[in-house]
């Protein structure tokens, strides 16, 4: 595959509300989406936009911080938060033009894919690759939204 | 402060050579800098460029992956690698227009800064903020290079 845009880094948090306050009040973020539930993946989610270019005012196209909070007691991030009670870096996510082609390529390289391809937080198909096959990084692969939005 | 560009995410690795092969052969990166030593910080470093925009060919201005390997037995990342033998996400780095102003702001908010302001891998002043004060994220703050380059 050809390396795609680093769409977001995923940050696990025990409280999205506290994390939003941190990114707004400590880090100075001005563009933060409303949190929403993603029950199929067991998380609540919101995105913090970062500027693409230091000199520009636009927040478009910068890599996003994805804040993820457990949705319920079955959330797949509960284990991570048990080990990291204050939260922390959880995964990275790269874009690809076509999810089926990317899945075939990773499978062809013998990389372990975690579960089926499914719809992610941006509304496009995604899958996760096992961190043990990705140098310790839980890696999400997502199909680029067709409208070019985040 | 106003949130700046997410300049890079720092990835600790036991072997930069192995990681370069991974980002080139598995992930399809086409723009990877030559590794160099940063003995004052106890690490060897290289950067993997990621594209800014999914539809563009340019690799300029995308968030970088910073690969860091221990320089010697005193490296500050040896502890991280002892806990994470295959490596993994180590820190994030945001740009600011002026490092002294940013340092004063973080100190004013009671955030613990780790050591003095010093010159980082991009040749501009940087400092690190304690992960316990940053929701579990070791956070590097770096002054934007004056030439607008990485």
String of DSSP letters for B97-119: S-HHHHHHHHHHTTPPEEEEEEE
Interface test with A, best of B131, B136, B145 (most A CBs within 10 A): B136
Looking at residue B61, its pLDDT comes to: 65
Looking at residue B56, its pLDDT comes to: 47
Query: Which chain A residues are closer than 8 Å to B136 by Cβ?
Result: 84, 86-89
Cβ neighbours of residue B149 under 8 Å, at least 6 residues apart?
Answer: none
Residue with tokens 């997502």: A142
Residue B51 has its nearest CB partner, among A5, A29, A88, at A5
For the four alpha carbons of B129, B134, B140 and B141, in that order, the dihedral sign comes to: negative
| Higher local confidence (pLDDT), B82 or A145 | B82
Query: Which chain B residues are closer than 8 Å to A88 by Cβ?
Result: 131, 135-137
| Three-state DSSP state, A59 | coil
Looking at residue B54, its pLDDT comes to: 47
Q: Please check whether residue A140 is in contact with residue A128, taking contact to mean a CB–CB distance below 8 angstroms.
A: yes
- List the single residue in A with minimal CA-CA distance to B29: A3
Query: Which chain B residues are closer than 8 Å to A27 by Cβ?
Result: 1, 3, 94
pLDDT band at B99 (very low <50, low <70, confident <90, very high): very high
Looking at residue A147, its pLDDT comes to: 66
C-alpha B70/C-alpha B124 separation (Å) is 21
How much is the average pLDDT of B116-138? Answer: 94
Q: What is the mean pLDDT of chain B?
A: 89
**pLDDT of A127 strictly over 70:** yes
**pLDDT of A63 strictly over 70:** yes
Beta carbons of B63 and A97 less than 8 Å apart: no
How much is the average pLDDT of B26-42? Answer: 93
What's the predicted TM-score (pTM) here? Answer: 0.89
Inform me whether the C-beta atom of residue B3 falls under 8 Å from chain A C-beta atoms.
yes
Beta carbons of B2 and A65 less than 8 Å apart: no
pLDDT band at B147 (very low <50, low <70, confident <90, very high): low
For the four alpha carbons of A54, B142, B89 and A82, in that order, the dihedral sign comes to: negative
What was the ipTM of the complex prediction? 0.87
Looking at residue B142, its pLDDT comes to: 94
Question: What percent of chain A shows pLDDT beyond 70?
Answer: 91
pLDDT band at A58 (very low <50, low <70, confident <90, very high): very low
C-alpha B34/C-alpha B56 separation (Å) is 24
Which tokens sit at B85? 């033998």
How much is the average pLDDT of A115-128? Answer: 94
How much is the average pLDDT of B53-64? Answer: 59
Q: B34 catalytic, yes or no?
A: no
pLDDT band at A150 (very low <50, low <70, confident <90, very high): very low
The tens digit of pLDDT for each residue in A96-106 reads 999 999 999 99
């Amino acid at each position: 595959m050809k390396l795609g845009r680093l769409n977001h880094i995923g940050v696990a948090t025990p409280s999205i509300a506290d994390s939003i306050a941190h990114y707004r009040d400590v880090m100075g973020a001005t563009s933060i989406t409303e949190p929403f539930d993603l029950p199929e993946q067991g998380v609540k989610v919101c995105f913090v936009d970062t500027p693409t270019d230091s000199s520009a005012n636009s927040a478009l196209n910068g890599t996003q911080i994805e804040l993820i909070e457990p949705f319920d007691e079955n959330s797949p991030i509960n284990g991570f938060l048990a080990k990291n009670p204050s939260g922390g870096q959880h995964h990275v996510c790269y874009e690809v033009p076509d999810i089926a082609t990317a899945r075939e390529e990773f499978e062809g390289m013998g990389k372990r894919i975690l579960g089926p391809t499914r719809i992610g937080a941006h509304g496009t198909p995604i899958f996760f690759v096992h961190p043990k096959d990705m140098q310790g990084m839980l890696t999400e692969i997502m199909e680029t939204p067709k409208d070019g939005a985040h």
